[in-house]
Amino acid sequence: MITVILKASDMNVMIDTEIWSFSLKVPIREKFGSQEEYKKALEVHAKAATTIKNTLLNDTVYMSLHQVSELYHVLSFRGTRLSPQTVRNYLENIMDSDEIVKVEVTKKDLIEAMQLSDQSEIHIWDFLCFVPVKKYIDAVYTVDKHFTHEVFKKFNIKIMNPLDFWTQI
């Protein structure tokens, strides 16, 4: 069962994991070769944080339970690592939040995710975030170039990049 808090939202959206990560991980100067690169990373961090904040205030955010686990991995084990307690607290807040609609991954979702992965040759993880929420959302906020692939176009969901650059993992 999915419970949705009604608000005067513009859209129902999914925010891709990378934007969450950019918003939460403050760049560390020592990890950048130049002051210019560091400054750009700080700008991306600030823009991502603003995107998350504004989206949570104005839109209804949907997140598959797989994406919650993906976010745990990205924040805890990839790149700059946040403390385990910080990550658990943040994700417990997401799980307890009525502002973010969490959607379970069903067997049917898993099968569809595998089929879409086979068709597109994109890893299954993006589809396990997307497929469970696709029938509820109007847009995906992402920087992941995979979401520009033809396979996503058939769903008639806007793919929006609020950070103005693409990455591919």
The domains of the chain, with CATH numbers, are: 12-160 (3.40.50.1010)
Across the chain, what does the average pLDDT equal?
Answer: 94
3-state secondary structure of 136: coil
Query: How far separated are the first and last CA of the chain, in Å rounded?
Result: 32
pLDDT exceeds cutoff 70 at 9:
no
* Bridge partners for 140 per DSSP: 14, 159
The answer, yes or no, to whether residue 7 has pLDDT greater than 90, is no
pLDDT of residue 49: 98
Angle at 149 between CA 148 and CA 152, to 5 degrees: 90
Distance CA 143, CA 160 (A): 8
Range 32-55 average pLDDT = 96
Give the span between the Cα atoms of 23 and 5, in whole angstroms.
Answer: 24
pLDDT tens-digit map of 84-133:
999 999 999 999 998 899 999 999 999 999 999 999 999 999 999 999 99
* pLDDT score at 2: 58
Strands 139-141 and 158-160: parallel
Distance between CA atoms of residues 3 and 103, nearest Å: 10
- Local structure of residue 105 (DSSP, 8 states): P
Q: Is the pLDDT of residue 169 over 90?
A: no
